[in-house]
Structure 1
């Protein structure tokens, strides 16, 4: 009887792990499919899953993680679970800002970013020192592609030194690696 009692928690634990893995995968797929272009691609073909090599590369640097669409999405989900997704959202907004061509686009985007991330009590306020915040405020009327660079570097450093190491050691990362490895073993069989 003691043997059966000891077995039951292990079975429940395995069951919970499967449910948790499905939950993470569903969240990642939802975020990947948010825009209509992604939905059209998924209708035409199976959704992309990272290889074990892809997932392994993410552990080498934050740059490699952020340069991979699925990795960036997984990291965003992880940050959301830690209540700090504003960092990746701000970093991404900065990357988009650098691509803007006209002054009119930059002014509109800069003001939107200020309202969303920079101003005191902003809905997704990021942690910035006074000088960096003030420099952004001073550039709002005539922003350049470098207007948010100092703030973006600070947020990147925060993610790289705090959230990124936690992500690499998280259950989510381990489950993604295990799922990718299992998929490759299944394909080779």
Structure 2
């Protein structure tokens, strides 16, 4: 999991990439540099756990080993779903109930409903604030300025 997170900041975004992030949340989330910048923004809002949960779920979906699926699912549950976790994400009761049932036999799709709920939350709430933030505007100006200086 740490390898996935440390790779998030692999390459500096291009001016075009930064501009495209404003066109759609999907583009932002598909971009490793976009996720890294968005994560930094979420950290300022004390909601970084939403993106970390989403990334962990994406990682789980790629897993094929049964024992690794179970291990990763339990870690995700303990880190983001358990009410005892300091990084608990905000999920409704129905989704929590579904997860609790699925945890009896975890699969790569165990957190599908929860992941969609958190993705939607980030899309509707955090993403518009990100785009209007000084954080994003300064990044967009900085990328634009540095590419015109080259």
TM-score of the two chains, using structure 1 as the length reference = 0.73
Partner of 1:121: 84
CA distance in 1 between partners of 2:65 and 2:45 (Å): 36
Partner of 1:145: 108
Query: Contact conserved, 1:107 with 1:141, CA < 8 A, in 2?
Result: no
Deviation at 1:99, TM superposition (A): 0.4
Partner of 2:95: 132
Query: Contact conserved, 1:103 with 1:142, CA < 8 A, in 2?
Result: no
1:173 to 130, 136, 143: 136
CA distance in 2 between partners of 1:161 and 1:119 (Å): 24
| Bigger Rg, which one | 1
Aligned ranges for residues 14-163 of structure 1 at < 5 Å?
35=6, 48-163=11-126
2:27 aligned counterpart, secondary structure: helix
TM-score of the two chains, using structure 2 as the length reference = 0.91
1:140-162 Cα deviation digits (max 9, x unpaired): 13112221110000000000000
1:99-120 Cα deviation digits (max 9, x unpaired): 0001111111111111111111
Long gaps (5+) in structure 2: none
Please identify runs of 4+ aligned residues in structure 1 that moved more than 2 A: none
Query: Contact conserved, 1:49 with 1:180, CA < 8 A, in 2?
Result: no
CA distance in 2 between partners of 1:66 and 1:140 (Å): 27
CA distance in 1 between partners of 2:8 and 2:78 (Å): 28
CA distance in 1 between partners of 2:78 and 2:144 (Å): 43
CA distance in 2 between partners of 1:185 and 1:38 (Å): 26
Q: Give aligned pairs, total.
A: 147
Long gaps (5+) in structure 1: 1-33, 40-46
CA distance in 1 between partners of 2:120 and 2:11 (Å): 29
1:172 aligned counterpart, secondary structure: helix
Deviation at 1:38, TM superposition (A): 8.9
- RMSD over equivalenced CA pairs, Å: 2.0
